[in-house]
Each structure stands twice: as structure tokens, then as C-alpha cells.
């Protein structure tokens, strides 16, 4: 009778099981790496969000803001920056920011970017700062005591008052072109013009009266930040601000 033959893997099955085991192991490793990477990214972003809110609260306290500014810390991974206490770039955006004193200025809005920010025990050291700030026309009205309007067509700030001359009520319109004195860090009103009952006064007379009705506005921006340029629109006077090697209290 024929001898029994032991069954075994066919010629095409040899080595398939180890290969499948290896493939499964690689898939598990890849899945673990992806999960760990996702967890690291999530932890990194959660920590960044916490620090952004903490910085915003500190800035609000420092400047006396009613609402904390929006803070965005750039760069990845954030945890490495946190460990070294040095940040690539930090963006801040705030409204109703009061700066300076005697008199103080309230900026309608302010957006700045700080680069190479180093965290020290009681301050932030900032390699460079750039941004914009807006001084609203209503704030200029408060500072000058005159109701200031903006004429977009001529790019001039105007004040209209009524004056009685020999018992006759006259309408007087004073205007000047807002100009930034970079060296003195103040806004002046150049090229003064005064029109009384439709008649323009001589420039020499206008210059004297303009300084009374539209006096210079000192900016008093703190921490060594300076205004570098000025531009106008319906919301107010926009200022391009900048600074290098700044120390800002925490």
C-alpha cells in the first residue's frame, strides 16, 4: 500500500507568514509614530495657546487695557522655544491702548510684530519691532479741544468755529496738513490755512492762529518705540512704528 506523505506548505507559500508578520510590525510602528507625532503637535499647540493667553494678560495689566490683546507666537516647535526662553516672532494686536503721560494718548488700534524675543526675569528683550498704530480723529479732538474733521480730498485736518466780529457772526475754517516730526516725535499741522466768511487770510496770520487751534501733539510712545512715518484716512492718523534692541517690562 502506498506510503502516507506528510502535508506541508506548497512551493508558493514558503516565507509568506514571516513576511506578513514583518509587514504588520512595520504598520504598527508607523501608526505609533503618527500617533506620537500628533500628540506632540497637539501638546505643542496647547502649550503655545496657554502662553499666548498668559502674555496677553500680562500686556493688558502692564498697559491698563480693558481687553487683553490678541497674541500669536510663531515658530515650530513651540516647546523648544519655551525651553530656551527665546521666541522667533510674536504678533500682538490691541485696541484702545493708552500710552505716555501729560497728556496721554489713546491709540484706537495697534498691531506690532516682535522678532527674536528673549524672556528675562522681569522683562522681554526684543531685537526688533515693527507695526502700525492709529490715532483716531476723536482722540485728536480730545487733545486739542477742537472738533477736528478730516477732508479726504485735500488730506487736511479742519476745524470750523463761529466768531463774532463787530456784532456779526462769522464762520471761520482753519485747516492744516498733519505732518510727522520724526526727530521730535510729534505731529504738527503744516501749511496752515484760515478762511473767514469765504476769504482766505494771509499765511503769516494763519500760521499764528493755527498753532492756537491745532497745536502740536507729542506722541510719548514708550519703551524706545518711535514713529517713522504717517498716513491718513477716515479713521485717523496712521503711524508706522519701529524699534530695535528694546526692553519691555513683563
**For cell 456784532, what's the residue?**
167
> What ranges do the domains of the chain cover?
138-218
Mean pLDDT (the chain) is 81
Taken in order 115, 250, 110, 185, is the CA torsion positive or negative? Answer: negative
Write down the pLDDT at residue 10.
53
Which pLDDT belongs to residue 5?
52
Residues forming a β-bridge with 176: 157
Span 51-80, mean pLDDT? 80
CB-neighbour burial class of residue 82 (10 A; exposed 0-12, middle 13-18, buried 19+): middle
Q: pTM for this structure?
A: 0.75
97 closest CA partner among 110, 83, 81: 110
| Per-residue pLDDT at 132 exceeds 90 | yes
- pLDDT tens track for 89-125: 999 999 998 887 666 888 999 999 999 999 888 888 9
Asked which of 26-30, 160-164, 231-235 is least confident by mean pLDDT, the reply is 26-30
- The C-alpha angle with vertex 113 and arms to 110 and 117, in degrees rounded to 5, equals 130
Q: Cell 528673549 identifies what position?
A: 118
Query: With 0-12 CB in 10 A as exposed, 13-18 as middle and 19+ as buried, what is 220?
Result: middle
Please, what's the b/e burial string for 178-191 (b: 16 or more CB within 10 A of its CB; e: otherwise)? Answer: bebeeeeebbbbee
Using pLDDT thresholds of 50, 70 and 90, give the confidence band for residue 61: confident
Mean pLDDT score, 150-157: 89
Decide: 132 and 139 in contact? Cβ < 8 Å. no
Collect all residues with Cβ–Cβ distance below 8 Å to 161 and sequence separation of at least 6.
146, 171, 172, 174, 213
Amino acid at each position: 500500500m502506498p506510503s502516507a506523505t506528510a502535508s506541508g506548505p506548497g512551493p508558493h507559500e514558503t516565507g509568506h507568514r514571516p513576511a506578513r508578520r514583518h509587514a504588520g510590525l512595520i504598520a504598527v510602528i508607523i501608526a505609533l509614530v503618527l500617533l506620537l507625532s500628533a500628540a506632540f503637535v497637539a501638546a505643542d499647540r496647547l502649550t503655545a495657546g496657554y502662553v499666548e493667553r498668559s502674555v496677553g494678560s500680562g500686556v493688558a495689566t502692564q498697559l491698563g487695557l480693558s481687553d487683553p490683546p490678541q497674541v500669536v507666537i510663531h515658530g515650530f516647535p513651540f516647546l523648544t522655544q519655551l525651553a530656551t526662553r527665546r521666541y522667533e516672532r510674536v504678533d500682538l494686536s490691541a485696541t484702545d491702548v493708552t500710552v505716555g503721560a501729560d497728556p496721554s494718548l489713546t491709540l484706537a488700534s495697534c498691531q506690532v510684530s516682535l522678532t527674536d524675543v528673549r524672556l528675562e526675569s522681569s522683562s522681554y528683550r526684543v531685537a526688533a519691532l515693527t507695526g502700525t498704530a492709529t490715532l483716531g480723529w476723536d482722540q485728536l479732538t480730545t487733545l486739542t479741544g477742537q472738533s477736528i474733521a478730516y477732508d479726504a480730498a485735500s488730506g487736511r485736518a479742519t476745524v470750523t468755529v463761529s466768531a463774532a466780529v463787530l456784532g456779526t457772526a462769522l464762520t471761520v475754517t482753519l485747516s492744516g496738513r498733519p505732518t510727522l516730526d520724526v526727530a521730535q516725535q510729534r505731529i504738527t499741522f503744516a501749511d496752515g490755512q484760515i478762511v473767514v466768511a469765504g476769504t482766505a487770510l494771509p499765511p503769516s496770520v494763519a500760521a499764528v492762529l493755527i498753532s492756537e487751534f491745532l497745536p502740536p501733539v507729542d506722541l510719548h510712545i514708550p519703551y524706545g518705540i518711535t514713529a517713522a512715518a504717517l498716513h491718513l484716512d477716515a479713521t485717523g492718523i496712521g503711524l508706522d512704528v519701529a524699534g530695535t534692541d528694546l526692553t519691555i517690562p513683563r
